[in-house]
Amino acid sequence: MTSYDVDYVDDGNWYDEDDEEFEGSDERAERAALDAQNEHLPRLQKALAHAGVASRRACETLITSGRVTVNDEVVFEMGSRIDPEVDVVRVDGVIVQMDTTKRYFVLNKPRGVVSTMSDENGRPDLREFTDPVGERLYNVGRLDTDTSGLLILTNDGDLAHKLAHPSFGVQKTYIAKVRGRVTPAVIQQLRDGVELKDGPIHADSAKILPGGTSKSHSLVEVTLHSGRNRIVRRMLAEVGHPVEELVRRQFGPLNLGTQRVGELRELSAGERGALLSAAAAGGTQAAPAGGEKPPAGSKGGKSPANGKGRKKQITAGRPGDGKGAKGMRGIAARGNPHTR
């Protein structure tokens, strides 16, 4: 979990004896009646702080700035109560995971490790990396045994099932070391599409990586949203460049960055929000031009959330960082007199 510089340390208790009263007798009486009915539920600003978004004071600024929604409705009132098990809370459009028992990890899976928690043939499996966590984790989809790179692990079974389903259509980016010298014509062929035994497929983008080309080998980056088995290897073999090494660098809004092979790290609050938001939107990929049907719930690349234009890519900043979850504390901190 990412650590924050905060002026408030959450003690894990939802409730606050010092919550401010509301001015006006009628409003205060109405609020008191509502509070009595929902007194078991946490107040919004404290729930956000408990979820690791920011300090409670900074969360109050986010609310009064109109940057927090509950079930797609902007909430300005500080004393609003929410049900963390039912309500969908977003900061700047990015979902906040209110259930702090849910955990999400990225593993840079080494080659030779099978993407399962137990292998009947005795090959190295994911337990080597998950056992230290101390709870049951699910892998989101699979990587081939001879493929390394980004693999998501979580105890959120519902999310794991959703992200792994073929209809999710999330973009994935791979770097492949292939035999032979790849030409721009081959890259264009990958973009235009190739015909495989199980149907046509095209890359969303493809390019030759500088410095990786020799007489015998090339480095190619391929981005696509298909979940078909061994699809990158089959595509590149079809255009005459069999893969010798393959690494998945990106899955939706998540990127390996400088993470070492074999390293397991827990997602930051922003990465969790980006992943949950991508799942709620059905992925970040616009409808493809051909070869594959668009993900369920999408129409011609329009966002199901607002129906206007191409889906906005969700980034992995922390919730509260501003539009698209970029750069968190700025506005909240500037509006918080306690941090001046």
Q: What would the pLDDT profile of 302-325 be if each residue is shown by its tens digit? A: 333 333 333 334 444 444 443 333
**Element (H or E) spanning 207, and its range?**
strand 205-208
Burial call 73-107: b when 16+ CB within 10 Å, e when fewer: eebeeeebbbebeebebbbbbbbbbbeeeebbbbb
* 193, β-bridge pairs: none
- pLDDT tens for 162-205 read 888 877 778 999 999 999 999 999 999 999 999 999 999 999 99
The CATH 3.30.2350.10 domain(s) of the chain lie at: 104-255
Q: Which two tokens stand for residue 257?
A: 């960055």
Tell me whether residue 11 is one of the annotated catalytic residues: no
The gap between the terminal CA atoms of the chain, to the nearest Å, is: 26
Please tell me which residue in 10, 35, 119, 144 is annotated as part of the active site. 144
For residue 326, is pLDDT > 50? Answer: no
How far apart CA 12 and CA 9 sit, in angstroms, is 9
Residue with the bigger pLDDT between 327 and 34: it is 34
pTM: 0.72
When the candidates are 3.30.450.20, 3.40.50.2300, 3.40.640.10, 3.30.2350.10, the CATH number that belongs to 104-255 is: 3.30.2350.10
The whole-chain average pLDDT of the chain stands at 78
CB 81 within 8 A of CB 43: yes
The CATH 3.10.290.10 domain(s) of the chain lie at: 1-96
Task: Indicate the fold that domain 1-96 takes in CATH.
Answer: 3.10.290
| Per-residue pLDDT at 33 | 66
* 94, β-bridge pairs: 91
| Per-residue pLDDT at 31 | 63
